[in-house]
Amino acid sequence: MHTLIVIDQPPYGSWGGRESLDMAFSLAAFDQPVSLLFIDAGVLWLKQGQEPGGINQKSVERNLTAASIFGVESLLADAAACHRFGLNDDNLINGVTRIENAGTTLEQYQHVVFSG
């Protein structure tokens, strides 16, 4: 069972994305293959150098950079959304693969879960 968890919300302001990240780590902890796909404003999770201290939140950057250590197979980002939000190789966290067609990617997984 290979699962894709899709995050389409920005990293701060809602708990839906964090709960999805927790789900990914839980699946990986039980040796279930899982990947994360960030689309729309969700690609903002992948920006380097986040400093959400002003809103009393912890940065999600460390969690995501450690995802592979915890067994998450891949971090995928919609290339068009990255372009729209000004994200490129210089400001994306390490280990992100940009994809051109999210629809085709969705078809490759047995189970797809959307956050929120």
Contacts of 45 (CB under 8 A, 6+ apart): 7, 10, 11, 17, 38, 60, 64
Among 3-12, 43-52, 66-75, 77-86, top mean pLDDT goes to: 77-86
Q: In this predicted structure, what is the pLDDT of residue 51?
A: 64
pTM above 0.85, yes or no: yes
Q: What is the pLDDT of residues 28-75, one digit of tens each?
A: 999 999 999 999 999 998 998 766 554 455 657 777 888 888 899 999
**What pLDDT band is residue 1 in, cutting at 50, 70 and 90?**
low
